[in-house]
Structure 1
Protein backbone atom coordinates (compact mmCIF):
# COMPACT_ATOMS: atom_id res chain seq x y z
CA UNK A 1 0.00 0.00 0.00
CA UNK A 2 2.17 2.79 -1.29
CA UNK A 3 -0.46 5.43 -0.63
CA UNK A 4 -0.13 4.70 3.09
CA UNK A 5 3.61 5.38 2.84
CA UNK A 6 3.02 8.63 0.95
CA UNK A 7 0.34 9.82 3.37
CA UNK A 8 2.46 8.77 6.35
CA UNK A 9 5.44 10.70 5.03
CA UNK A 10 3.21 13.70 4.38
CA UNK A 11 1.76 13.61 7.89
CA UNK A 12 5.16 13.24 9.55
CA UNK A 13 6.57 16.09 7.47
CA UNK A 14 3.55 18.25 8.30
CA UNK A 15 3.99 17.73 12.04
CA UNK A 16 7.71 18.51 11.77
CA UNK A 17 7.00 21.61 9.72
CA UNK A 18 4.45 22.86 12.25
CA UNK A 19 6.92 22.32 15.10
CA UNK A 20 9.85 23.98 13.29
CA UNK A 21 8.02 26.80 11.47
CA UNK A 22 8.04 29.34 14.33
CA UNK A 23 11.73 28.97 15.11
CA UNK A 24 13.18 28.30 11.65
CA UNK A 25 10.75 29.21 8.86
CA UNK A 26 13.36 28.66 6.13
CA UNK A 27 14.04 25.14 7.39
CA UNK A 28 10.30 24.47 7.47
CA UNK A 29 9.98 25.56 3.83
CA UNK A 30 12.94 23.40 2.80
CA UNK A 31 11.44 20.43 4.61
CA UNK A 32 8.16 20.95 2.76
CA UNK A 33 9.91 21.32 -0.59
CA UNK A 34 12.07 18.23 -0.11
CA UNK A 35 9.09 16.20 1.06
CA UNK A 36 7.20 17.16 -2.09
CA UNK A 37 10.22 16.36 -4.23
CA UNK A 38 10.66 12.98 -2.54
CA UNK A 39 7.01 12.10 -3.16
CA UNK A 40 7.38 13.19 -6.79
CA UNK A 41 10.49 11.02 -7.25
CA UNK A 42 8.74 8.12 -5.53
CA UNK A 43 5.99 8.29 -8.15
CA UNK A 44 8.28 8.49 -11.19
CA UNK A 45 8.49 4.71 -11.39
CA UNK A 46 4.70 4.50 -11.51
CA UNK A 47 4.59 7.11 -14.24
CA UNK A 48 7.17 5.15 -16.27
CA UNK A 49 4.95 2.06 -16.05
CA UNK A 50 1.93 3.98 -17.33
CA UNK A 51 3.98 5.45 -20.19
CA UNK A 52 5.16 1.98 -21.20
CA UNK A 53 1.59 0.68 -21.30
CA UNK A 54 0.42 3.67 -23.34
CA UNK A 55 3.33 3.21 -25.75
CA UNK A 56 2.43 -0.44 -26.24
CA UNK A 57 -1.23 0.44 -26.88
CA UNK A 58 -0.22 3.14 -29.37
CA UNK A 59 2.09 0.72 -31.19
CA UNK A 60 -0.63 -1.92 -31.45
CA UNK A 61 -3.22 0.57 -32.66
CA UNK A 62 -0.96 2.09 -35.30
CA UNK A 63 -1.08 5.61 -33.85
CA UNK A 64 2.07 7.49 -34.86
CA UNK A 65 4.40 7.75 -31.86
CA UNK A 66 4.78 11.52 -32.32
CA UNK A 67 1.19 12.01 -31.13
CA UNK A 68 1.68 9.91 -28.01
CA UNK A 69 4.97 11.66 -27.26
CA UNK A 70 3.31 15.06 -27.63
CA UNK A 71 0.44 14.10 -25.35
CA UNK A 72 2.87 12.74 -22.75
CA UNK A 73 4.88 15.97 -22.92
CA UNK A 74 1.68 17.95 -22.40
CA UNK A 75 0.78 15.83 -19.36
CA UNK A 76 4.33 16.22 -18.04
CA UNK A 77 4.21 20.00 -18.40
CA UNK A 78 0.88 20.09 -16.56
CA UNK A 79 2.19 18.01 -13.66
CA UNK A 80 5.52 19.82 -13.38
CA UNK A 81 3.91 23.25 -13.58
CA UNK A 82 1.40 22.30 -10.89
CA UNK A 83 4.14 20.85 -8.69
CA UNK A 84 6.34 23.93 -9.09
CA UNK A 85 3.44 26.30 -8.49
CA UNK A 86 2.49 24.47 -5.28
CA UNK A 87 6.05 24.68 -3.94
CA UNK A 88 6.14 28.41 -4.70
CA UNK A 89 2.72 28.82 -3.04
CA UNK A 90 4.09 27.06 0.04
CA UNK A 91 6.70 29.82 0.16
CA UNK A 92 3.91 32.40 0.09
CA UNK A 93 4.56 33.64 -3.46
CA UNK A 94 1.10 33.41 -5.04
CA UNK A 95 1.91 35.78 -7.91
CA UNK A 96 4.93 33.74 -9.02
CA UNK A 97 2.90 30.53 -8.70
CA UNK A 98 0.29 32.04 -11.02
CA UNK A 99 3.01 32.89 -13.55
CA UNK A 100 4.33 29.31 -13.45
CA UNK A 101 0.82 28.01 -14.13
CA UNK A 102 0.40 30.51 -16.98
CA UNK A 103 3.73 29.43 -18.50
CA UNK A 104 2.61 25.80 -18.30
CA UNK A 105 -0.62 26.62 -20.12
CA UNK A 106 1.21 28.51 -22.88
CA UNK A 107 3.71 25.67 -23.35
CA UNK A 108 0.84 23.16 -23.51
CA UNK A 109 -0.84 25.29 -26.17
CA UNK A 110 2.39 25.43 -28.18
CA UNK A 111 2.72 21.65 -28.08
CA UNK A 112 -0.95 21.15 -28.94
CA UNK A 113 -0.90 23.23 -32.15
CA UNK A 114 0.44 20.42 -34.41
CA UNK A 115 -2.18 17.98 -33.09
CA UNK A 116 -4.93 20.56 -33.52
CA UNK A 117 -3.73 21.18 -37.08
CA UNK A 118 -3.98 17.47 -37.91
CA UNK A 119 -7.48 17.31 -36.41
CA UNK A 120 -8.63 20.33 -38.44
CA UNK A 121 -7.10 18.91 -41.64
CA UNK A 122 -8.81 15.58 -40.99
CA UNK A 123 -12.19 17.24 -40.44
CA UNK A 124 -11.76 19.33 -43.60
CA UNK A 125 -10.87 16.16 -45.50
CA UNK A 126 -14.08 14.51 -44.32
CA UNK A 127 -16.28 17.38 -45.47
CA UNK A 128 -17.89 16.98 -48.87
CA UNK A 129 -16.50 19.22 -51.58
CA UNK A 130 -18.75 21.75 -53.27
CA UNK A 131 -18.80 20.04 -56.69
CA UNK A 132 -22.55 19.66 -56.92
CA UNK A 133 -25.07 21.59 -59.00
CA UNK A 134 -25.46 25.13 -58.03
Structure 2
Protein backbone atom coordinates (compact mmCIF):
# COMPACT_ATOMS: atom_id res chain seq x y z
CA UNK A 1 0.00 0.00 0.00
CA UNK A 2 2.46 2.59 -1.16
CA UNK A 3 -0.32 5.05 -1.89
CA UNK A 4 -1.20 5.14 1.81
CA UNK A 5 2.41 6.00 2.65
CA UNK A 6 2.52 8.66 -0.05
CA UNK A 7 -0.80 10.08 1.13
CA UNK A 8 0.47 10.13 4.72
CA UNK A 9 3.66 11.91 3.65
CA UNK A 10 1.63 14.41 1.63
CA UNK A 11 -0.80 15.00 4.48
CA UNK A 12 1.99 15.67 6.99
CA UNK A 13 3.67 17.98 4.48
CA UNK A 14 0.36 19.74 3.85
CA UNK A 15 -0.20 20.44 7.54
CA UNK A 16 3.38 21.65 7.89
CA UNK A 17 3.12 23.88 4.80
CA UNK A 18 -0.23 25.37 5.84
CA UNK A 19 1.13 26.13 9.30
CA UNK A 20 4.33 27.57 7.87
CA UNK A 21 2.46 29.65 5.29
CA UNK A 22 1.18 31.96 8.01
CA UNK A 23 4.69 32.94 9.09
CA UNK A 24 6.89 32.41 6.02
CA UNK A 25 4.94 31.85 2.80
CA UNK A 26 8.10 31.42 0.69
CA UNK A 27 9.28 28.59 2.94
CA UNK A 28 5.87 26.91 2.69
CA UNK A 29 6.22 26.94 -1.09
CA UNK A 30 9.69 25.38 -0.86
CA UNK A 31 8.40 22.66 1.49
CA UNK A 32 5.59 21.92 -0.95
CA UNK A 33 7.99 21.79 -3.92
CA UNK A 34 10.40 19.47 -2.12
CA UNK A 35 7.55 17.16 -1.12
CA UNK A 36 6.35 17.05 -4.72
CA UNK A 37 9.87 16.28 -5.94
CA UNK A 38 10.22 13.48 -3.36
CA UNK A 39 6.95 11.90 -4.48
CA UNK A 40 8.00 12.23 -8.13
CA UNK A 41 11.37 10.58 -7.41
CA UNK A 42 9.66 7.75 -5.54
CA UNK A 43 7.61 7.02 -8.65
CA UNK A 44 10.57 6.93 -11.04
CA UNK A 45 11.31 3.30 -10.15
CA UNK A 46 7.71 2.35 -10.92
CA UNK A 47 7.87 4.20 -14.22
CA UNK A 48 11.06 2.33 -15.09
CA UNK A 49 9.33 -0.99 -14.42
CA UNK A 50 6.45 -0.05 -16.74
CA UNK A 51 8.90 0.98 -19.47
CA UNK A 52 10.63 -2.40 -19.18
CA UNK A 53 7.30 -4.23 -19.53
CA UNK A 54 6.47 -2.19 -22.64
CA UNK A 55 9.89 -2.94 -24.11
CA UNK A 56 9.38 -6.66 -23.53
CA UNK A 57 5.90 -6.55 -25.09
CA UNK A 58 7.19 -4.62 -28.10
CA UNK A 59 9.99 -7.13 -28.60
CA UNK A 60 7.56 -10.06 -28.42
CA UNK A 61 5.09 -8.41 -30.79
CA UNK A 62 7.90 -7.50 -33.18
CA UNK A 63 6.97 -3.82 -33.01
CA UNK A 64 9.55 -1.27 -34.09
CA UNK A 65 11.07 0.13 -30.90
CA UNK A 66 11.18 3.59 -32.46
CA UNK A 67 7.40 3.81 -32.18
CA UNK A 68 7.46 2.61 -28.59
CA UNK A 69 10.08 5.23 -27.82
CA UNK A 70 7.90 7.95 -29.29
CA UNK A 71 4.89 6.82 -27.28
CA UNK A 72 6.94 6.72 -24.08
CA UNK A 73 8.33 10.20 -24.78
CA UNK A 74 4.80 11.49 -25.30
CA UNK A 75 3.65 9.98 -22.01
CA UNK A 76 6.71 11.43 -20.28
CA UNK A 77 6.06 14.89 -21.68
CA UNK A 78 2.44 14.71 -20.53
CA UNK A 79 3.35 13.68 -16.97
CA UNK A 80 6.19 16.17 -16.59
CA UNK A 81 4.14 19.02 -18.03
CA UNK A 82 1.23 18.23 -15.72
CA UNK A 83 3.58 18.09 -12.74
CA UNK A 84 5.20 21.40 -13.72
CA UNK A 85 1.85 23.08 -14.31
CA UNK A 86 0.61 21.96 -10.91
CA UNK A 87 3.74 23.37 -9.27
CA UNK A 88 3.11 26.68 -11.02
CA UNK A 89 -0.50 26.70 -9.84
CA UNK A 90 0.61 25.93 -6.28
CA UNK A 91 2.90 28.97 -6.48
CA UNK A 92 -0.02 31.13 -7.66
CA UNK A 93 1.20 31.26 -11.27
CA UNK A 94 -1.67 29.57 -13.07
CA UNK A 95 -0.93 31.41 -16.32
CA UNK A 96 2.61 30.03 -16.40
CA UNK A 97 1.22 26.55 -15.75
CA UNK A 98 -1.10 26.96 -18.72
CA UNK A 99 1.88 27.92 -20.89
CA UNK A 100 3.71 24.75 -19.82
CA UNK A 101 0.67 22.70 -20.81
CA UNK A 102 0.47 24.51 -24.16
CA UNK A 103 4.15 23.82 -24.87
CA UNK A 104 3.66 20.17 -23.97
CA UNK A 105 0.77 19.86 -26.41
CA UNK A 106 2.91 21.28 -29.20
CA UNK A 107 5.80 18.93 -28.35
CA UNK A 108 3.43 15.96 -28.31
CA UNK A 109 2.02 16.98 -31.68
CA UNK A 110 5.53 17.23 -33.15
CA UNK A 111 6.45 13.79 -31.80
CA UNK A 112 3.20 12.25 -33.06
CA UNK A 113 3.62 13.35 -36.70
CA UNK A 114 6.02 10.54 -37.74
CA UNK A 115 3.81 7.92 -36.07
CA UNK A 116 0.70 9.24 -37.81
CA UNK A 117 2.54 9.25 -41.14
CA UNK A 118 3.66 5.65 -40.61
CA UNK A 119 0.11 4.57 -39.78
CA UNK A 120 -1.26 6.33 -42.86
CA UNK A 121 1.47 4.77 -45.01
CA UNK A 122 0.59 1.32 -43.68
CA UNK A 123 -3.11 1.92 -44.34
CA UNK A 124 -2.41 3.05 -47.88
CA UNK A 125 -0.41 -0.13 -48.52
CA UNK A 126 -3.23 -2.27 -47.12
CA UNK A 127 -5.85 -0.51 -49.27
CA UNK A 128 -3.86 -0.90 -52.46
TM-score by length of 1: 0.93
Q: After the TM superposition, which segments of 4 or more aligned residues of structure 1 sit over 3 Å from their partners?
A: none
SS in 2 for 1:58: helix
- What do residues 5-54 of structure 1 show as CA deviations (whole Å, max 9, x unaligned)? 10000000000011010110000001111101100000000000011011
2:8 alignment partner in structure 1: 8
How many residue pairs were aligned? 128
Counterpart-to-counterpart distance in 1, 2:116 and 2:59: 21
Distance 1:65 1:111 in 2: 14
Q: How does 1:1-134 map to 2 (within 5 A)?
A: 1-128=1-128
Measured in 1, the distance between the counterparts of 2:127 and 2:5 equals 54
| Structure with more of its chain in helix, by fraction | 2
Residues in 1 aligned to 2:100 and 2:111: alpha-carbon distance in whole angstroms: 17
Which ranges of structure 2 fall in alignment gaps of 5 or more residues? none
Higher alpha-carbon Rg: 1
Rounded to whole Å, the distance in 2 between the matches of 1:85 and 1:33 is: 12
Unaligned runs of 5+ in 1: 129-134
Question: CA-to-partner distance for each residue in 1:91-124, whole Å, 9 max, x for gaps?
Answer: 0001100000000000000000000000111111
